[in-house]
């Protein structure tokens, strides 16, 4: 993924909460919120196992109806499998990934795109989750696959789907040339946008969203807090931005903090509600490392889309 080089158009505001029709047609439920488990799995630092279990149990109790895990997310799949076995309500939509395995931390890219490696990875995931199949199987970081290898990788995913191990297929990350050879394949139903469309970056509206619409692909919007820039790591990233946080989003995050203060909203609430307002995103993937963080994100969801005037101000901060 490269830093943006051109101005982006304005997103469309959703007037009221509505079911995710594009996902419902795919048999992936109509909820617009998924709980991403990278945080409680320990991908971004150690999490007390008891606190992680408490957070996940609370998500089920609140009514979260979609969960996103991955082998690269530490203990996420094991925690989710444990919670699924204990849960007595309707089973939520479950997605996981192949292509990236657990590393030392969230920045350690341990990739495995071989045919047998991806098959073994999914088999381990299903065993850990206690499921015969996942609802949605993402190819994790598809841009890491060399272009010449992409047809083979896509064919392996389609075969795993045909074998009954995944109901739908998705692209878990990437953008632009990172999707070349996949969208043309026609076998992918969902794409997960990551740092392409949130309150401090609109660049996904330039190429990615139009391309996904043309391909008939539904959208997951991951990391609505821009990897912490609009959340708990705001001050840290302002002082010393990591390589994946570019100067333009940092400048916008500063303006959004001023706007949030003026409007009497915590910055994470403003950022979450903005993403919940986006017509272009079918499902927003929230993250939380504690019940308190989950409560705040869920409360933002329950509050509904931003008022039109505040949505306009966020857009103007670009």
pLDDT score at 17: 84
User: Is the separation of the CB atoms in 79 and 52 below 8 Å?
Assistant: yes
How many Å apart are CA 117 and CA 296, to the nearest integer? 38
**pLDDT for the residue numbered 188:** 97
What residue ranges do the domains of the chain occupy?
21-225+282-290
What's the pLDDT at 9? 87
List 160's β-bridge partners, or say none.
none
Map tokens 């079918």 to a residue: 282
Angle among Cα 135, 136, 142 to the nearest 5 degrees reads: 165
pLDDT at 218: 98
- Cα–Cα dist 13/32, whole Å: 15
Inter-helix orientation angle 291-303/49-62, to 10°:
20
Pick the CATH number of 21-225+282-290 from 3.10.290.10, 3.20.20.210, 3.20.20.100, 3.40.50.2300: 3.20.20.100
DSSP code of residue 14: P
Residue-level pLDDT at 6 = 54
Model pLDDT, residue 104: 59
Other beta carbons within 10 Å of 108? 12
Residue ranges in the chain modelled with pLDDT below 50: 5
pLDDT at 103: 63
Nearest to 77, CA basis, from 58, 102, 60: 102
> Do the Cβ atoms of 259 and 197 come closer than 8 Å?
no
Torsions phi, psi for 63 (to 5 deg): 105, 15
Q: Which pLDDT value is given to residue 1?
A: 55
In tens, the pLDDT along 5-22 reads 456 689 999 988 889 999
pLDDT number for residue 21 = 97
pLDDT of residue 7: 60
Q: What is the pLDDT of residue 244?
A: 84
Residue 67 main-chain phi, psi, to 5 deg: -130, 140
Res 288: pLDDT: 95
Quote the pLDDT of residue 106: 54
């Amino acid at each position: 993924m490269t830093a943006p080089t051109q101005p982006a158009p304005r997103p469309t505001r959703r007037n009221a909460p509505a079911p995710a029709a594009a996902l419902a047609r795919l048999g992936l439920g109509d909820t617009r919120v998924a709980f991403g488990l990278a945080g409680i799995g320990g991908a971004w630092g150690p999490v007390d196992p008891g606190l992680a279990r408490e957070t996940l149990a609370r998500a089920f109790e609140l009514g979260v109806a979609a969960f996103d895990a991955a082998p690269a997310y530490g203990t996420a799949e094991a925690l989710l499998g444990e919670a699924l076995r204990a849960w007595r309500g309707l089973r939520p939509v479950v997605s996981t990934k192949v292509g990236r395995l657990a590393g030392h931390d969230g920045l350690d890219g341990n990739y495995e795109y071989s045919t047998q490696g991806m098959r073994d990875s999914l088999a381990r995931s299903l065993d850990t989750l206690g499921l015969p199949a996942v609802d949605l199987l993402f190819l994790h970081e598809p841009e890491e696959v060399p272009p010449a290898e992409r047809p083979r990788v896509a064919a392996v995913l389609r075969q795993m789907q045909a074998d009954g191990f995944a109901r739908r297929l998705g692209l878990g990350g990437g953008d632009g040339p990172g999707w070349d050879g996949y969208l043309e394949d026609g076998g992918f139903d969902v794409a997960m946008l990551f740092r392409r469309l949130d309150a401090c970056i609109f660049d996904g509206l330039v190429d990615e969203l139009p391309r996904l619409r043309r391909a008939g692909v539904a959208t997951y919007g991951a990391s609505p807090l821009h990897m912490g820039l609009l959340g708990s790591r705001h001050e840290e990233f302002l002082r010393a931005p990591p390589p994946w946080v570019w100067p333009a989003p940092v400048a916008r995050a500063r303006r959004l903090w001023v706007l949030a203060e003026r409007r009497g909203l915590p910055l994470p609430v403003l950022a979450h509600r903005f993403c919940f307002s986006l017509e272009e995103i079918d499902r927003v993937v929230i993250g939380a490392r504690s019940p308190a963080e989950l409560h705040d994100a869920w409360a933002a969801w329950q509050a509904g889309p931003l008022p039109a005037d505040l949505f306009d101000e966020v857009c103007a901060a670009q």
